[in-house]
Amino acid sequence: MEKRLFVIAGHGAGDCGAVGNGYEEAERARALAQKIKDFGGAKVLLADFSKNSYRSNIIGKREIPKDCVVLELHLDSSKNEKARGGHVIINANFKADKYDTALSKMIADMFPGRSKIISGRTDIANVRRAAESGYNYRLMECCFISNAEDIKKFNSNIDAIAKRILACFDINVQESPKKDNVSKSIEEIAREVIAGKWGNGATRKQKLAAAGYDYKAVQSMVNKLLK
């Protein structure tokens, strides 16, 4: 059976993840995940953006189709604002496969700076869960959200990153992907909410979720801006 790609965007459901340079990890990871889906079409499945996949334990509960290879997306952070670069994390008990190798070379080429581009770990819950559940899994730290140059490059090249990720998994890119607003920052969307562009109440919540945004994160930014 031909493999599909299942993409998990890290954090969410009230957990914004790392924060830096005006952006939140959960929102940026979802922006990239949506782009991968837009360009990959039916060959790409997305974890529910409204949920925190770590907390809900979709891996341990084996809620991911077995014909899928799994990619979990994150952005790193450091108190050292000069720290930069992307890398791939796999289970230390496994050897890197062709997807891990291609992905790590791609992200290190776009976001250099790491001394190791593939790291073996067993102290990360989802890494362990995936091994126990029999999933072909890897976690990718795309870049440092705390590094101004990294996050600027991430935002400016989000389409290219999505396309290159698909190529690493041997998935052809669709010529005319769905257009969306998900590449905007959480603050931009919050300002649109304040301007009334996303409706009110349940309608607003539904529209934001459908567009791939973390409703709680957007509402938190709205409250902050209004203060």
**What's the per-residue H, E or C state across 110-153?**
HCCCCCCCEEEECCCHHHHHHHHHCCEEEEEEEEECCCHHHHHH
In the chain the domains, ranked by start, together with CATH numbers, are 4-168 (3.40.630.40), 186-226 (no CATH)
Q: How far apart are CA 58 and CA 37, in angstroms?
A: 19
Per-residue model confidence (pLDDT) at position 210: 66
For residue 3, the model assigns a pLDDT of 83
According to DSSP, the residues that pair with 44 across neighbouring strands are 5
pTM of the shown model: 0.79
Of all residues in the chain, what percent are helix, strand and coil, respectively (each to 5)? Answer: 40, 20, 40
Question: pLDDT by residue for the chain (227 residues), tens digit each?
Answer: 568 999 999 999 999 999 999 999 999 999 999 999 999 999 999 999 989 999 999 999 999 999 999 999 999 999 999 999 999 999 999 999 999 999 999 999 999 999 999 999 999 999 999 999 999 999 999 999 999 999 999 999 999 999 999 999 999 998 655 554 455 788 889 889 998 888 888 778 777 876 778 888 888 888 988 87
At residue 182, the pLDDT reads: 53
pLDDT, position 196: 87
pLDDT of residue 77: 96
**Given this model, what pLDDT does residue 185 score?**
80
CB 98 within 8 Å of CB 168: no
What pLDDT shows up at residue 11?
A: 95
